[in-house]
Amino acid sequence: MHKVHEGLTADGAGLAGDRVVAAGSAARVLVAATARALRGVDCADLGHTGPTSRFPGAPEPVRRAAVSRAAGRVALTVAQVDEVDAARVARWFVDQYPRRRYPGVLIGSPHGAAAHLAVALGVPWLPAGFEMTVHWSDGAVDRPADALEHGAALATRLLAGNADLHLRQVHCPASRGPLTGATVSLTAAWRALPAAYAQFLADRLVPGAPVLLVRDARTWPVLERGPGHSFQVGCPASGLDPVDFHPDSHALRQVLRSVGGDAARWEPPEVSVPSGYAEHGVDSGFELAARDWSARHEHPLHRVLVPGPAALSAGVADLYRRWLRRAGKTGDRLVVECGRLLDPWQVVRAGLVPYWCENATRRSVDEAEWWLAGSEAFSSVDVLPEPPGVRSPALAGLPQWLAVAGFGRRRRALDRTTARGYPVTSVPTRRATEVLRAQPYDLPAPPPLGVAEALAVLRDSGGHQGLLVS
């Protein structure tokens, strides 16, 4: 029987919509984008559209049919769960990169700025886990306890063939919208260094090359359901706080109403860990294994602890500006990317400074505004807001995105295609490529940065935001 992973093609060209592990996930998109940039290729062939709610005002039967079709394009069937092979997923990740020796590697939590940092250093980026969604035929967005029970049965089946994983189930209508009731979302974190990673590092790193471990340090209330399976209601990417997922929360009632749920039925299970690492944290076993491998093979390991996405985004944007200016470029044009809308190669090709927002929440956009307000002004600012496909009181409105673009001295551009139908429509990941291709060329690209220099800049520019570099 073919493993589910075998649906992944070598170049990723046919991934959009496939019912395969990692299709459309943050890890898959970032690996593909980084690998293409190291080859000098953009992301024009990545067409994943992300979660969508195309009929926000439609009757419930129409809405549920649309959600079911969307889930069918990205989710595994229950029968396919038994075929998931995490070792082959790891192998797919490493196989994306050109076969040559590298002066270092980034591993760890998914973050768009980490992909840009990897490209500036000329090194690969490898995730510490990947995401899956599985069909939930009789699910409901407002029944987190039922989602937990269904997810526990799926976790048992997944872990039977993948003992090196920890599965974090996330039930978050504020970030996933109607799909929360049609699918179960699982983030799989490796509890040790996958064999494919260890072989890749041994074969592809130059002697003494450093390993950079990027770790998302955000926390969230968690229920430890059983060995290898934990559950959380809500998530940091929602732009809400844990208290906002309490049954009496006004924000929760707004979210559930927008996705066809009923707050009266919302009964989340009790948590067992009030402040555990959120879904994109790095498993402690994975970090320990990376440290052990680095020590045994005489590769220094540096840890970049990220308290929130904006800290790394700001540090990498400052890094790019210095890197470009040292190469004689202006470093004066900014692109604000969002979610899956990024293209590291087009950024380098055009000599742009990238700032990455995790999503379209007010919190993410506020942080971008604060960084811009404290930075030297840019002559142009292009903004690519990713429509989340769901309404939420935590989302930034288009006027706030326009305010970000307004920081440009001469050019202030908000992409009209992504703005049309915002926030309930969706756009393919290749939209970032289409927009950035219109930017003038600024080649040749600067020579790759050294890791020591990059770490020094990150300590200097990110320290005041809590970025910890060791």
- C-alpha 47/C-alpha 24 separation (Å) is 9
pLDDT value for 66:
45
CB atoms within 10 A of CB 27: 22
pLDDT value for 423:
92
Beta strand spans in 327-465 (E): 333-338, 353-357, 380-383, 411-414
Strand-pairing partners, residue 187, are: 131, 168
Report CA-CA distances (Å) from 287 to 112, 203, 210, 284.
20, 20, 15, 5
Q: What is the mean pLDDT of the chain?
A: 89
- Indicate if the alpha-carbon torsion angle 70, 169, 131, 278 is positive or negative: positive
Q: How many CA atoms lie within 13 A of 439 on its CB side?
A: 28
Confidence of residue 141 (pLDDT cuts 50, 70, 90): very high
> What single letter denotes the amino acid at residue 404?
V
Mean of pLDDT values over 446-459: 95
Asked whether residue 110 carries a pLDDT value surpassing 60, the answer given is yes
pLDDT value for 285:
97
Are 140 and 146 a contacting pair, CB within 8 Å?
yes
Confidence of residue 73 (pLDDT cuts 50, 70, 90): low
Helix (H, G, I), strand (E, B) or coil at 345: helix
Domain limits of the chain? 311-469
- C-alpha 14/C-alpha 12 separation (Å) is 6
Asked whether residue 219 carries a pLDDT value surpassing 90, the answer given is yes
pLDDT value for 303:
97
Mean of pLDDT values over 179-184: 93
Are 52 and 425 a contacting pair, CB within 8 Å?
yes
Q: Which residue has the higher pLDDT, 118 or 424?
A: 118
Asked whether residue 7 carries a pLDDT value surpassing 80, the answer given is no
Asked whether residue 67 carries a pLDDT value surpassing 50, the answer given is no
Mean of pLDDT values over 286-301: 98
For Cα atoms 60, 63, 65, give the angle at the middle one, nearest 5 degrees.
110
pLDDT value for 26:
86
**DSSP summary character for residue 341:** B
Residue-wise DSSP of 47-116: ----S--S-TTS-HHHHHHHHHHHHHHHPBPTGGGGG--HHHHHHHHHHTS-SS-BS-EEEES--HHHHH
- What are 151-180's pLDDT values in tens digits? 999 999 999 999 999 999 999 999 999 899
**DSSP summary character for residue 445:** P
Mean of pLDDT values over 360-373: 97
Confidence of residue 332 (pLDDT cuts 50, 70, 90): very high
Taking only Cα atoms into account, the Rg of the chain, rounded to an integer number of angstroms, comes to: 21
- What are 295-322's pLDDT values in tens digits? 999 999 999 999 999 999 999 999 999 9
Mean of pLDDT values over 341-369: 97
pLDDT value for 56:
43
Q: Which residue has the higher pLDDT, 84 or 464?
A: 84
pLDDT value for 74:
67
Range name among 43-57, 317-331, 378-392 with the lowest pLDDT average: 43-57
- C-alpha 92/C-alpha 197 separation (Å) is 10
Q: Which residue has the higher pLDDT, 73 or 106?
A: 106
